[in-house]
Structures are given as structure tokens and as C-alpha cells.
Amino acid sequence: MVDNSQPEVNQKPRPRPVLPEELIREEPILEKAYVCVLRERRFASQAMAILANCKHLPCPRHLKRCHGTRIYLAALDRLPEGIHGPAELRQLLADLGLDLALLEDELETPQVPAKPARSKAQMRAATAHWPLHFHPDPRLEALLSGAALADLAPLESAAQLVATAARAAVGGTCCSGAAAILEPSRRGPPRVLALARASLDRHPLWHAAMLAVDLVAHGQGGGAWDLKPRQLEGTGKRLRLRVRRPLVFPPELDSLILVGDDDDDEEEEGNGEEAAYLCTGYWAVLVQEPCPMCAMALLHSRVARIFYGVGNPRAGVLGSRALLHNVPGLNHRYEVWSGLLEAECARALDSATTI
């Protein structure tokens, strides 16, 4: 019999969302709990009414109190004060007014989920042990299922662009490569606004993402460094200036911008619509996972999504050494994917100079 199935030799790996372990893991963390067992299901409402008013035996918010004829009482390691085992627990139930004749003689100690389910997959796995209250997070489900990245082609084009730009990067051992800032659009593919490669031979802070963010600021009439983007020459630098051709640094990267991608060197004033604040809503495409400085610059500039090709085990903080985008208390969060054109990006980094 002939096997007509085609090997997927050209199948590129999809970028992977970078998420904390507690969101990715499917198997629940379990803990033992005391449960009482009703002799008949019809006694459940009576038992539930008594327990509902009992502050000594609270049910964790993520667990349902009742599972068939079983009623959750307390985790083994969080018994009420003065209660040390099943005999005292049964006595507490009697003191609360529950008729012990409704219960089987022995309490059981099943494993129940210790924490709330965060995803549908976690919910399915956890309910095999004990029923849960659960409200799915549509954003998280879209990240986990891949639905959040419907059209990969424009992202791969951008990754190809930054990989090509990175071949002549001058980076350090902690951060290197090239970066692009993209403006997503509902009407078509995202537009490249800025492209930069690491230039540490010229300035110690000129990491790729730092330069890309500063180029966008130049396009908005600001910018911290004197990068002199050629595309802005002769223009009045005013807020809401929208340059159609991507701003690049160093200038020779302009040769990578395909003619026809944009109207050559034309610029237009903002047509009445408010420009984004810094990089609000924009996407960043990087060859390498950013260092802490670059990751914070992207955070402060409010990018919405970051895609990188290669992990940065020495200093990366979006997956390798830390998950900056999961640190509580920060005033902005972005979504992060790794592995976008990973092989091409790795080859580009091999070609880059490290100082």
C-alpha cells in the first residue's frame, strides 16, 4: 500500500507564546482535603445550608463545595484552629447542627485542585479530581490556541528584514541583533515604522530595540539621540508627523527597504487623527530576546506585542532569565512570542560582531 502522505519538510515552527508556567501547565497542583460523604444525595441541601453559614470551614472560591455525595470540608494542612483530625472535624459538624446520621462514618481525604484553573485545559484536567468554578479568559485562550496570531506571513517578512539587518550588527554578549517597530492595521499587513541594528561600537546604549524605539520617537518629533534619520531631513519635526518610509539606523539599512513597500521618501502630516503615544499598540520584532534595558524600554514605550527569534540565555528577561511581562505592579504589559524565524535569526546572530 502506497503512503501518499507528504512529509511536512517545509513546515516552519510557529512562534510560541511566552507565558508563565502556571498558565501553561495543564496538570493541576493537588492537595489533600477532608470531605464528608452523605449517605444519600438528597441530604446535600441540608448539609450545604449549614456549611454555607460556617466561617470555620470556608470552601476555596475556585472549588465547588459539593461533588455528588461528597462535601468539601477543609484542606488537611489548613484545618480550623483547635481541630487536629477527622474525629474533631466530625464533632465540629455536629456542633454546627449537622445530623451525623446523614453521613457515612468515615471522612475521606481525596486530592483536590489547590489553585484556580486559568485555562480551559487546566479546567478539564482539574475537574477530573473535583468540580471547579471557572471563567475562561478569552485573551489567554487565544494565545494558547494560536488564534491570536492568525496571519503569520507579515510577521515572518518583518523577521526576515531584522535578520538581514542583524548580520552586520555590532552587539554585546548580553544583547545584540536588530529590531523593527511595526504598526498593525485592520485593513492590511502591519507597516514597518522603524528598523535598527545594534551599534555598540558607536554608543554603549545603542542596543537594537533602544534605537528602534528612539527612531519612532524621532518620527513623533522627539527622540533622545541625534540619530539623524535621513527620512526626516528637511521636514519640520512636529508631533503627529507620519513618515511613510521606515526610519532606519544606521542609514545604510535603508537599502533593505523594498521599493514599493512605501511611497519613497514621502511624508505627510498627521491627517487630524491622533498619533500613538510613543509605541502604544505597536509591535516589536527582534532577532534576539531583549536584555533588561531593552525590555524595559519597550515596556515604557507601550508596545503591545513583542516577537523575537532567538532566546538570550545570558540576559534575556522575556523567557530565559525572567518573565518581565509577568511581573506584578508594572504599569504596562505586552504579549510576547519566541521562535519567530528562529533558525534565520540564529544564523544572523552568528554573523554579527560582538564586542
Residues forming the site for Zn ion (CB under 5 A):
175, 207, 291, 294
Distance CA 26, CA 113 (A): 12
Q: How far is the CB of 155 from Zn ion (least distance, A)?
A: 21
Amino acid in position 157 = S
Please state the length of the chain: 355
Q: How far is the CB of 290 from Zn ion (least distance, A)?
A: 5
Whichever of 159 and 291 has its CB closer to Zn ion, that residue is: 291
Whichever of 294 and 348 has its CB closer to Zn ion, that residue is: 294
Whichever of 93 and 175 has its CB closer to Zn ion, that residue is: 175
Q: How far is the CB of 354 from Zn ion (least distance, A)?
A: 13
**Residue closest to Zn ion when measured from CB atoms:** 175
Q: How far is the CB of 297 from Zn ion (least distance, A)?
A: 8
Query: 267-269 and 247-249 as β-strands: parallel, antiparallel, unpaired?
Result: unpaired
Residues contacting 28, CB < 8 A, separation 6+? 113, 114, 115, 117, 122, 125, 126, 129
Distance CA 169, CA 141 (A): 37
- In the structure grid, which three cell numbers stand for residue 316, read together? 534575556
Whichever of 33 and 169 has its CB closer to Zn ion, that residue is: 169
Nearest to 184, CA basis, from 282, 306, 274, 286: 282
User: Rounded to the nearest 5 degrees, what angle is found at the Cα of 211, between the Cα atoms of 210 and 217?
Assistant: 95
User: Rounded to the nearest 5 degrees, what angle is found at the Cα of 146, between the Cα atoms of 142 and 150?
Assistant: 95
Whichever of 294 and 310 has its CB closer to Zn ion, that residue is: 294
- In the structure grid, which three cell numbers stand for residue 352, read together? 554579527
Q: How far is the CB of 136 from Zn ion (least distance, A)?
A: 36
Q: How far is the CB of 16 from Zn ion (least distance, A)?
A: 21
CB 262 within 8 A of CB 178: no
Q: How far is the CB of 353 from Zn ion (least distance, A)?
A: 15
Q: How far is the CB of 207 from Zn ion (least distance, A)?
A: 3
Strand spans (E) along 11-168: 16-17, 30-37, 66-67, 70-75, 111-113
CB 161 within 8 A of CB 208: no
Query: 70-75 and 66-67 as β-strands: parallel, antiparallel, unpaired?
Result: antiparallel
Cell numbers 456549611: residue: 51
Whichever of 166 and 291 has its CB closer to Zn ion, that residue is: 291
Nearest to 179, CA basis, from 287, 318, 257: 287
Cα 50 vs. chain centroid, distance in angstroms?
Answer: 43
Whichever of 169 and 253 has its CB closer to Zn ion, that residue is: 169
Whichever of 149 and 279 has its CB closer to Zn ion, that residue is: 279
- Neighbour tally for 48: CB within 10 Å: 13
Q: How far is the CB of 292 from Zn ion (least distance, A)?
A: 8
Whichever of 112 and 210 has its CB closer to Zn ion, that residue is: 210
